[in-house]
A and B are shown apart, each in its own frame.
Chain A
Amino acid sequence: MEYVLTTDALSKHYKKGKALDGLCMHVPKGAIYGFVGKNGAGKTTLIRLICGLSHPTSGSFTLYGMEHTDSEMKKMRKRMGAVVETPALSSDMTAEENLRQQYRILGLSSFDGIKDLLVLVGLEQTGKKKVRAFSLGMKQRLGIAMAMAGEPDFLVLDEPTNGLDPQGIIELRELILKLNHEKGITFLISSHILDELARIATHYGIIDQGKMVKEFSADDLEKECNSKLHIEADVSDAEEIFRILEERGISYEILPGKDKKLEEYFISLIGGDGHA
């Protein structure tokens, strides 16, 4: 399998402790990789490292097969875009001016693609409105457009649904799926909202205390959750079913709706109260 990003025993230590502790992960090409973990598990630290915003204490990572210490790494970085925590935007500029600035930073000779990018993220009507007057959802979408400048084939989104209203979440989900399906862009998405992630992710990585607990695909998750028989029954019949099962000594578990399966799997791996 071809990987866009791999990490090998990647560690980042601060004075307060270890943010990443020998993390190994593999993001396959073309995947939507859901990166799941509790607050402080090390998700943003990993994203900062792969974006070059901070330096690893030990271990290594590769982007498109190139070691992070390679002098040519900057060429690989040009193939990726990222929105780390909050979108990095100049608040006193319009959406178009921000994109033009990003084009300048990338050294692109023409501003031709800007209009298309604005249409892609649904911000073509914003005109002369400054970014400081944008809603959080608009900023998030502009952040993605900024990350899309230069046509990268790997996008890293750190908590992209943070602060978005339900409509904004739906729009963002559709945008991610569209980019993945139509342009073949690989995504690495860290998110707290497991239900939301479960709707789009093709692969998952679960991180806890700076370590990778498990990596698995959406198919693996499906198989794992289907190894037990799922019975749907009216609540009124439940008592009778429980009685029969108990008489025959068969263990059972009462599960909530099926959208919860990633959440349950996460809790079974991590333990605790499941605050991802």
Chain B
Amino acid sequence: MRKLLRADLYRMYRNKKIWIALLAMFSAAGMMISMQYSGMDYEVPLSRVIFLPMTFFGLVIAAYVGFYAGEDFSDGTVRNKIVTGNRRRDIYVSQLVGVWSASLVLYILTVLVAVSVGLPLFACDVGIKEVSMYFILGCFTVLAMGSIFYLISMCIGNRSVAITVCMGLAFLMLFLCLHTNQILAQSQYKNEVLNPHYVSGVKRICYELLHDMNPMGQIAQLSEMKYLSPVRWIVSDVLWLLAAHGIGTVVFGKKDIR
């Protein structure tokens, strides 16, 4: 599988699309940091800025993975890998590792840019330990997100359809996140009166679960550097990774390649 990984990584970093995706994330970081810097009439804490550009990550990685994985089908180069006797499981996994590497590169560089630009401009209210913890949680999220979009792209096997479906799913996850976030953000009391929109009990647990299982929900928590449950966060992502690997290898293994 090492030879396939070498070929996939070469194709990935030789291709302009990864640099376009990176540029998109940097632009998002620049835009959001300048909005925070100039738009607020109070001193904005650094914790609000470090992971804020990641709100765009879902859309960018959806487009990128749809393009990257779909291109292997549209160019037909996936056929070269099969015809030369490589196992389909190896082909799937090596590209998945490539997608993980791209996801992590986009994430790490975006956060680095946000920290380097943010440090001199905003009030430093967080320590390295806290940032590192959220950074690690973010790593799980970006890996899960890349895996989900990769699974979809490999099952579809057509570049334009894959990009459309991945982008559609990214928006769906975003809207779901906005919905669950809005409900969970309600305070129990408003002006010392019980808030009728506040949900509690089993319903609240379900909403929290939905918010934690949704990678966009995790990004929302990451951007605010707050979490509902770090364990649930990590477990959800590990389940996404296992599902993407398991379902993907089975579906791709049986797929008729055109």
Contacts and interface: CB of A to CB of B under 8 A. Distances in A.
Contacts of B75: 88-91
Contacts of B4: 105
A14 B3 CA distance: 34
A115 interface: no
Contact of A104 (B10, B78, B79): B10
B80 A51 contact: no
Interface stretch (A70-78, A209-217, A251-259, A262-270): A70-78
Interface in A141-197: 146-147, 150
Nearest to B6: A104
Contacts of A97: 14
Interface stretch (B33-41, B84-92, B106-114): B84-92
A91 B14 CA distance: 12
Interface string B5-35: 0110011001110000000000000000000
A237 to B, nearest CB: 55
B140 to A, nearest CB: 30
B113 to A, nearest CB: 27
B48 interface: no
Interface in A103-130: 104-107
B151 to A, nearest CB: 20
Nearest to A79: B85
Interface in A26-68: 48, 51-55
Nearest to B76: A88
A136 interface: no
A55 B85 contact: no
B133 interface: no
Contacts of B80: 88, 102, 105, 146
Nearest to B16: A92
Interface residues of B, number: 27
Nearest to A88: B76
A90 B11 contact: yes
Contacts of B81: 105
A104 B3 contact: yes
A75 to B, nearest CB: 7
A84 interface: yes
A75 B256 CA distance: 21
A66 to B, nearest CB: 12
B206 interface: no
B85 A81 contact: no
A95 interface: no
Contact of A54 (B85, B86, B87, B256): B256
Contacts of B256: 48, 53-55
B254 interface: yes
Contacts of B2: 107
Contacts of A54: 256-257
B87 A90 contact: no
Contacts of A107: 2-3
B84 A150 contact: yes
Contact of A101 (B7, B76, B79, B254): B7
B205 interface: no
A51 B79 contact: yes
- Chain A CB within 10 A, most for which of B6, B11, B77, B257: B77
Nearest to A152: B84
Contacts of B239: none
A87 interface: yes
B83 interface: yes
Nearest to A150: B84
Nearest to B73: A88
A55 B87 contact: no
A234 B64 CA distance: 69
A76 B85 CA distance: 8
Contacts of B83: 51-53, 77, 80-82, 84, 147
Given A52-B83, A104-B6, A105-B81, 19 more contacts: A48-B257, A51-B83, A52-B82, A53-B257, A53-B258, A74-B87, A77-B83, A78-B84, A81-B83, A81-B84, A88-B77, A89-B77, A91-B75, A92-B15, A97-B14, A101-B10, A101-B77, A105-B7, A146-B80
Interface of A: 48, 51-55, 73-78, 80-82, 84, 86-93, 97, 101-102, 104-107, 146-147, 150
Which 9 residue pairs are nearest across A and B when measured between Cβ atoms? A88-B76, A77-B85, A74-B85, A107-B3, A104-B7, A54-B256, A53-B257, A78-B85, A51-B83
